[in-house]
Amino acid sequence: MPFINSRVSVPMTEQQKEALKQQLGEAISIIPGKSEQWLMLEFADNCDLYFQGDNTLPAAFVEIKVFGSIPTDSLDKMTKTICGIYEECLQIKKDRIYVKYEESCKWGWNGSNF
């Protein structure tokens, strides 16, 4: 039950979405117990993002919401991997990418809660 809310300032082609989808589906398993089998993604492109007062350079805000908690020792690998994916697929520099995590123990699916 992870959800990745992906908001980027650049346009995305269908090919880029497909590549991102595949790579995020692999990356999610860095967090113990998570897999693409339960992963939902939202891609929003052409977002109106400012970073450090500037909206002319590409930027990304990637929010990773998970059911339960994320072990600290998987965070470093996860953030490194996510930044690498966005930099490679969309040419957004890592120093203009935030990766924020949210942990929730109240999460439902298919009419009942985990």
Which residues are near a copy of itself by CB under 8 A? Answer: 1, 3, 7, 17, 21-22, 25, 36-44, 47-53, 55, 59, 61, 65, 70, 75-76, 78-80, 82-84, 94-95, 97-104, 106-113
Dihedrals φ, ψ of 80, to 5°? Answer: -60, -45
- Cβ proximity to a copy of itself, 10 vs 98, nearer residue: 98
Residue 85 Rama label (left phi>0; alpha psi -120 to 50; beta)? alpha
Nearest-approach distance from CB 111 to a copy of itself, in angstroms = 4
Q: How far is the CB of 101 from a copy of itself (least distance, A)?
A: 4
Q: How far is the CB of 83 from a copy of itself (least distance, A)?
A: 4
Residue 1: partners with Cβ closer than 8 Å, 6 or more residues away: 38, 66, 67, 107, 109, 114
**Least distance (Å) between residue 71 CB and a copy of itself:** 11
